[in-house]
Amino acid sequence: MANDTDVVFHPGQIVPASGIYRCDTQCGHTFESTDVKGHRFPPLPHDCPGEGWVLQQAAAHR
């Protein structure tokens, strides 16, 4: 079974869990977005060759 860091979420999809997401490419840049559960993923930056966002670090809830 794939873990959350393997799932690619596309711009406009509903954010399943709050946290820091990064673009899905491995080309050396670090495009990141902090997203809140229930909101929509933002578009990728115009110069990003990626296709979506992957979870980098989940938010800690207290």
According to the model, what pLDDT value does residue 29 have?
Answer: 74
Domain assignment present for 9: yes
- Expressed as residue numbers, the domain containing 61 is 1-40+50-62
Q: What pTM does this model have?
A: 0.83
DSSP per residue over 23-61, as a string? Answer: ES--SS---EEEE-TTSBPPPPPTT-----EEEEEEPP-
Q: Is the pLDDT of residue 1 over 50?
A: no
pLDDT category, 49, cuts 50, 70, 90? Answer: confident
Tens digit of each residue's pLDDT (9 = 90 or more) over 13-35: 999 999 999 999 877 777 899 99
Domain assignment present for 7: yes
Domain assignment present for 55: yes
Domain assignment present for 45: no
Q: 54 near 11, Cβ under 8 Å?
A: no
Domain assignment present for 56: yes
Provide mean pLDDT across the span 35-61.
92
Q: How many domains does the chain have?
A: 1
The DSSP letter of residue 4 is G
